[in-house]
Copies of this chain bind each other. A is one copy, B any other.
Amino acid sequence: MAKQLLGKEVTAALNEKIKANVAELQGKGVNPTLCIIRVGENPSDISYERGATKRCETLGVACEKILLPEDVSQEELLATIDKVNKDDSIHGVLLFRPLPKHLDQAVIENALAPEKDVDCMTDLSMSGVFTGKKIGFPPCTPQACMEILDHYGIDCTGKKAVVIGRSLVVGKPAAMMLVKKNATVTICHTRTVDMPSVAREADIIIVAAGRAGVVGAEYVKEGQTIIDVGINVNAEGKLCGDVDYAAVEPIVDAITPVPGGVGSVTTSVLVGHVVEAAMRKVNA
């Protein structure tokens, strides 16, 4: 039976570190603050907002909200971003996307100051993920994967890691982060030939295929660590990952469940970014 890599254990440890940093900042008179900008009333945005707000409260991070109507103009949204960029009391900004179609999303995303870009929405933050420079912050989901590996003491140096998926939100950044951790990294995707045989060579597999049950028993072998980024709803209406958990779990060494794995770590990573943004500013 595989060891379960539990999001709640990782989150608990992360939260302790975040709280210590918040206390240090408050000792210096700084109140780390997240600003959430929401356009319209998308239920999934509202649900994520609720989670982030709660997590901020628990960790002593202030959370301001700017709610704009669905038909907000490009000018007004840009003016709002300009205002938060210039507001020294705001350290990190979360803007829900996709934006309504009448707005030029690329322009709006890149209007945010990279040093406040705690959710990796600007091109400059993406550059930081690629180059390893501290410009902005990496996307929360692949960083949550790294936090899980770190928390459970899974050393990547010299290991073979396979990333399934090449998206900008997970696959590519995860690959860059694993290279930085000295893993030998293989990026697989829909055009990969005989993916099971590639995956079986890995020590660590990060699955971000975006489809339920893609990774079955034929992808895995003894000794592997499986990080499942997928969040899907199965035929019975239950949450499930991209990995066929029932088939894979008995074979491998360690695996993240869904729910209760990667997804449960991302909010703490986001709030951690806000606190780090405040610390970078204090130490600049």
Name A residues whose Cβ lies closer than 8 Å to a Cβ of B. 123-124, 126-131, 133, 135, 157-160, 166, 168, 172, 175-176, 179, 182, 184-189, 191-193, 198
Contacts and interface: CB of A to CB of B under 8 A. Distances in A.
A184 B171 CA distance: 13
Copies in the complex: 2
Nearest to A159: B193
A126 B128 CA distance: 9
A159 B133 CA distance: 31
B188 A184 contact: yes
Nearest to A184: B192
Contact of A187 (B133, B135, B166, B175): B175
Contacts of A188: 184
Contacts of A168: 130-131
Interface centre among A123, A131, A172 (most CB of B within 10 A): A123
A189 to B, nearest CB: 7
B130 A191 contact: no
A43 to B, nearest CB: 29
A184 B162 CA distance: 10
A261 to B, nearest CB: 25
A111 to B, nearest CB: 14
Given A124-B123, A157-B191, A182-B191, A130 B133 contact: no
B158 A193 contact: yes
Nearest to A157: B191
Contact of A184 (B158, B176, B189): B189
10 contacts: A123-B124, A127-B127, A127-B130, A158-B192, A158-B193, A159-B193, A184-B191, A184-B193, A186-B186, A186-B187
A192 to B, nearest CB: 4
Contacts of A179: 166, 172, 187, 189
Nearest to A158: B193
Nearest to A190: B182
A176 B172 contact: yes
Contacts of A198: 160, 184
A197 to B, nearest CB: 10
Contacts of A189: 179, 182, 184
Lowest 9 A-B CB distances belong to which pairs? A127-B127, A130-B130, A182-B191, A186-B186, A123-B127, A158-B193, A184-B192, A126-B127, A185-B187
Given A123-B124, A158-B193, A184-B189, 19 more contacts: A123-B127, A123-B131, A123-B135, A124-B127, A126-B127, A127-B127, A129-B130, A130-B168, A130-B176, A157-B191, A158-B192, A166-B179, A172-B176, A179-B187, A184-B187, A184-B188, A184-B191, A184-B193, A186-B187
